[in-house]
Amino acid sequence: MEKPFAVGHERKVELVAPAGDADRLKVALGYGADAVYLAGKKLGMRAACRNFDGDGLKAAALAVHALNKKIYVTANIFPSDADFDGFDEYADLLGAIGVDGVIASDLGIINRLLKRTALSVHVSTQANVMNSETARVYADMGVKRIVLARELSLSQIRRIRDGLDDGVSLEAFVHGATCISYSGRCLLSAYMSGRSANRGECNQACRMEFAPVGGDAMEFVEDGGTYIFGGNDINMIEHLGELRDAGVEAFKIEGRVKSEYYVGCIVNAYRKAVDAMLCGAELPCDVAEEPKKAPNRGFNTGFYYGMPERADVKPEYYDFCGIVVGRDERGATVEMRNRFGTGDVLEVLSPDARFHNKLVTVPVMTGEDGAAVTDAKVPCARLLFGGVDLPELSMLRRPRQKQA
């Protein structure tokens, strides 16, 4: 029998955001994530991120816990024997700094963590948990959370939830690029560029333009089997209640290699969507539209409602112009990202609702050397917007200008 999660159910819904480095960690927390996931320098599936060394992990854990939020560290590559060198010391470090969970896909890593540490272990989506039998095996081992395979429908998720006790929670991806293809077995990147997706070096070959075979599914045959990959992004912002009712307790956003702007824009939108869901309110139209302003490849709802249909629309997202890194009586200091100039009208993305979507006309700016600036074209230059009051972490954006 189905066990829907009604409004007011005792289980807490968690919004889990990516943090590829310290800057994106700060943005994810500032824009409303309940938890963040990130990687150390070992065993993570996103080698393109700057990631965190030992001191960085300690600082991240302190920052997260100071806000009464949670930090999860990925250890979800498919390891060779050499990858276990120094593993116990690394696990001890994670335990010492008090991370709230370790996300792993390899059975050897999971078993080692459970047997020799007190760390909470989460099964990664790369482990391809597709059914309640497999979920129960992991639960019996002692894992505390299962990040579900991305190929599951809502009815399949509900059946998995029904087969587990309350000691194991379910997490699912709600937004972003999706490595499907029985979520971890990817050969394309290694074959095309010599970069193994299964060791964190993916070149996102499955996001390139291929001819579709039936809707959004793409077909690649290897060893007599057919595997699926997808070119659109999942966007479940209008369907969070249905996911929650199916038994999902943690909503995960993909994007550890994305910019601060992407993280801020998507986390901000989903924070508002989760809050609306929890209080039984309708999703505001502007919140539903917000993800379209971040870089994307067109949206669908993944496999949650069956085989996804391909979104052929050409995305028209916003350019990230700068982020507010300081605020005082003189005005806001903005770190430049994409070119803008005096007189341009920019839209504000802000964690403070009083400033969000406000329009700002760029004044004559002041550079760090005190000189007047009317054309901001040096990346990462810090510019004072005199007389402009914006909170730190606010971002400036505008619709991407079409090429002539």
Domain boundary among 250, 274, 300: 300
The count of domains in the chain is 2
**Is 1 part of any domain?**
no
- Whether 125 and 92 map to the same domain: the answer is yes
- Whether 108 and 19 map to the same domain: the answer is yes
**Is 4 part of any domain?**
no
- Whether 30 and 120 map to the same domain: the answer is yes
**Is 92 part of any domain?**
yes
CA angle at 142 for the pair 93 and 149, rounded to the nearest 5°? 90
**Is 9 part of any domain?**
no
Residue 239, both tokens: 């369907």
**Is 296 part of any domain?**
yes
Distance separating alpha carbons of residues 398 and 404, to the nearest angstrom:
17
Distance separating alpha carbons of residues 336 and 301, to the nearest angstrom:
34
- Whether 147 and 105 map to the same domain: the answer is yes
- Whether 335 and 211 map to the same domain: the answer is no
CATH code where residue 274 lies: 3.20.20.70
CA angle at 204 for the pair 199 and 208, rounded to the nearest 5°? 155
pLDDT in tens, the chain (404 residues): 333 333 334 458 999 999 999 999 999 999 999 999 999 987 655 554 567 899 999 999 999 999 999 999 999 888 889 888 999 999 999 999 999 999 999 999 999 999 999 999 999 998 989 999 999 999 999 999 999 988 899 999 999 999 999 999 999 999 998 765 444 455 566 556 666 665 566 666 666 655 544 444 444 444 444 444 567 889 999 999 999 999 999 999 998 889 999 999 999 999 999 999 999 999 999 999 999 999 998 899 988 998 777 676 677 889 999 999 999 999 999 999 999 999 999 999 999 999 999 999 999 999 999 999 999 999 999 999 999 999 999 999 999 876 54
- Whether 329 and 362 map to the same domain: the answer is yes
- Whether 324 and 273 map to the same domain: the answer is no
**Is 162 part of any domain?**
yes
- Whether 234 and 336 map to the same domain: the answer is no
- Whether 343 and 256 map to the same domain: the answer is no
CATH code where residue 342 lies: 2.40.30.10
**Is 308 part of any domain?**
no
Containing domain of residue 327, as a range?
318-399
